[in-house]
């Protein structure tokens, strides 16, 4: 018999709310959701622990990642990649894309971008009723062609874009058309 | 960094029963499951205070998603009041402080065994289905390593052969529950043992569905607006159960999925499988103010 309901701690609340936003954004690509706090901290709390191999390009995020106990890995071994501001596409060439047998081994890439301005994209695929448009800027040129080249469904990677406390996600199942 | 920075204050139990690392693993797998609709993702499947095979997979997903603002509905074969559903609902409320409901319209998180409610789910609801056997290929390929290779190759010929054999032997497709369905044009999944009646409810739905098998340690998902096509031949259309003309002996509701209750004289009576919809119909008849949601089936026809 439980005497009282276990406490919904601050950590727990942040991780739960961040994941709720992430799950919504992944289920409905192109829709922008709000995280409980700006930046990657919520996603780190929700997803990362000692079982993860993390590539972290942003030195300011390194303390938060190290605190989780995750193994710091090179991009070709990492399952979660925190790229911060993406400067070039070279890291994408090393991404783990999983296999046809185990698509879940494909990486999750978290990068910063500005949502709602810049390049217009048309998205199609699961989670989208017809098509959806999204404007993104602050990403390197040629990213969308590179992404299309890399993804051989069901192999591929998930791209999560953060703009302050706003988040959009592009799972591998989404077709991106640059307008 | 010191040791005390890394430690957390002692607590008798984590929020939502599962410890934080179990939840993070489930979250990572849910991310991948949503990204590759219908593809089975392996996960660790922790112990919960319930025997494997009684909904532990669904329970672990629910415990990960739940927060104090959630409103939880749990159904077992359509009924809110069966022992299994009532126990799971009480457990979820006890370890999370979430509210519970039986009304499909007000629930934010619906855990279900083998039914999808008759009222349409909306985009702010998540449906969690308990899955006993996540592998649609098991009847034709008992070796799960080979079955995984067949999924990788999208080699589903034996599934078609199985359906063909049923049509040749019996004159119709005999598969009742867990009708194999092609998700997003790529992976064949079992929709869990929901009746054929419920399979069209997954196709291009507004809600997210997560299917989780605790004993078999795999979960998969159907995101909103995703194609879920039952395997059929061009000249043998998919048919749902012939319940459109049955009416419920308790509520009088017509055109929904029914439970058959055999009678002593050899005849049958029928009652609504979705118990809450039956309760609503009865309360409406008695003049109580009741809010009905839009239903997937109207006059026994899927619309």
Q: Give the count of Cβ contacts less than 8 A between chain A and B.
A: 138
How close B3 gets to chain A, by Cα (Å)? 11
Q: Where are the domains of chain A?
A: 10-178
Q: Which fold has domain B20-133+179-228?
A: Rossmann fold (3.40.50)
**Smallest CA–CA distance from B6 into chain A, residue:** A67
**Residue B217 has what pLDDT?**
97
* Buried b / exposed e along A148-170 (16+ C-beta atoms within 10 A): eebbebbbbbbbbbbbeebbbbb
**Strand, helix or coil for residue A19:** helix
**Smallest CA–CA distance from A173 into chain B, residue:** B35
Span A10-178 CATH architecture: 3-Layer(aba) Sandwich (3.40)
**Which contiguous run of DSSP H or E holds residue A112?**
strand A108-112
6-25 in chain A: CB under 8 A from chain B: 6-9, 11-13, 15-17, 19-20, 22-23
- The 10s digit of each residue's pLDDT in B257-301 is 999 999 999 999 999 999 999 999 999 999 999 999 999 999 999
**Smallest CA–CA distance from B33 into chain A, residue:** A104
Tell me whether residues A104 and B13 touch, CB distance under 8 A.
no
Contacts of B1 in chain A (CB under 8 A): 63, 66-67
Residues B107, B93: contact at Cβ < 8 Å? no
Structure confidence at residue B149 as a pLDDT band (50, 70, 90):
very high
Tell me whether residues B32 and A153 touch, CB distance under 8 A.
no
Contacts of A46 in chain B (CB under 8 A): 24, 27
- The neighbour count for residue B31, using CB atoms within 10 Å, is 24
- The 10s digit of each residue's pLDDT in A114-156 is 999 999 999 999 999 999 999 999 999 999 999 999 999 999 9
- Asked whether the predicted pLDDT for residue B21 surpasses 90, the reply is yes
**Residue B5 has what pLDDT?**
76
- The 10s digit of each residue's pLDDT in A30-64 is 999 999 999 999 999 999 999 999 999 999 999 99
**Residue A3 has what pLDDT?**
62
**Residue A155 has what pLDDT?**
97
- Asked whether the predicted pLDDT for residue A1 surpasses 70, the reply is no
Tell me whether residues A51 and B25 touch, CB distance under 8 A.
yes
Residue intervals in chain B for CATH 3.40.50.11310: 20-133+179-228
């Amino acid at each position: 018999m439980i005497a009282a309901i276990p406490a919904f701690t601050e950590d727990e609340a942040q991780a739960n709310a961040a994941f709720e936003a992430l799950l919504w954004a992944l289920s409905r690509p192109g829709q922008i959701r709000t995280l409980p706090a700006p930046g990657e901290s919520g996603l780190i709390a929700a997803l990362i622990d000692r079982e993860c191999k993390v590539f972290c390009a942003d030195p300011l995020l390194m303390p938060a990642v190290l605190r989780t106990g995750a193994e710091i890995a090179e991009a070709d071994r990492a399952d979660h990649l925190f790229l911060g501001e993406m400067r070039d596409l070279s890291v994408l060439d090393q991404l783990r894309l999983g296999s046809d047998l185990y698509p879940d081994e494909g990486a999750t890439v978290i990068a910063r971008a500005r949502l709602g301005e810049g390049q217009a994209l048309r998205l199609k695929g699961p989670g989208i009723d017809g098509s959806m448009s999204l404007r993104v800027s602050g990403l390197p040129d040629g990213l969308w062609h590179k992404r299309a080249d890399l993804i051989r469904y069901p192999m591929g990677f998930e791209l999560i874009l953060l703009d302050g406390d706003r988040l959009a996600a592009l799972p591998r199942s989404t077709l991106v058309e640059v307008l | 960094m010191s040791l005390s920075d890394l430690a957390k204050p002692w607590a008798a139990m984590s929020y939502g029963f599962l410890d934080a690392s179990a939840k993070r693993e489930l979250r990572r797998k849910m991310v991948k499951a949503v990204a590759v609709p219908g593809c089975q993702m392996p996960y660790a499947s922790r112990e919960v205070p319930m025997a494997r095979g009684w909904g532990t997979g669904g329970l672990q997903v629910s415990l990960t998603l739940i927060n104090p603002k959630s409103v939880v509905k749990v159904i077992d074969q359509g009924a809110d009041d069966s022992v299994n559903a009532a126990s799971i609902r009480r457990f979820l409320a006890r370890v999370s402080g979430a509210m519970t409901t039986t009304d499909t319209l007000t629930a934010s998180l619906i855990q279900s065994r083998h039914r999808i409610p008759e009222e349409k789910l909306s985009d702010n609801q998540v449906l969690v289905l308990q899955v006993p056997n996540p592998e649609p290929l098991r009847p034709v390929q008992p070796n799960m390593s080979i079955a995984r290779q067949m999924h990788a190759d999208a080699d589903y010929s034996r599934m078609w052969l199985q359906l063909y054999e049923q049509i040749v032997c019996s004159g119709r497709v005999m598969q009742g529950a867990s009708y194999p369905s092609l998700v997003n044009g790529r992976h064949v999944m079992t929709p869990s043992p929901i009746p054929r009646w419920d399979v069209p409810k997954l196709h291009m739905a507004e809600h997210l569905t997560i299917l989780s098998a605790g004993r078999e340690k795999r979960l998969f998902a159907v995101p909103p607006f995703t194609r879920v096509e039952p395997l059929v031949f061009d000249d043998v259309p998919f048919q749902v159960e012939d319940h459109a003309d049955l009416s419920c002996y308790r509520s009088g509701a017509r055109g929904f999925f029914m439970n058959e209750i055999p009678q002593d004289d050899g005849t049958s009576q029928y009652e609504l499988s979705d118990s809450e919809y039956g309760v609503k119909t009865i309360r409406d008849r008695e003049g109580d103010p009741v809010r009905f949601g839009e239903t997937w089936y109207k006059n026994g026809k899927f619309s």
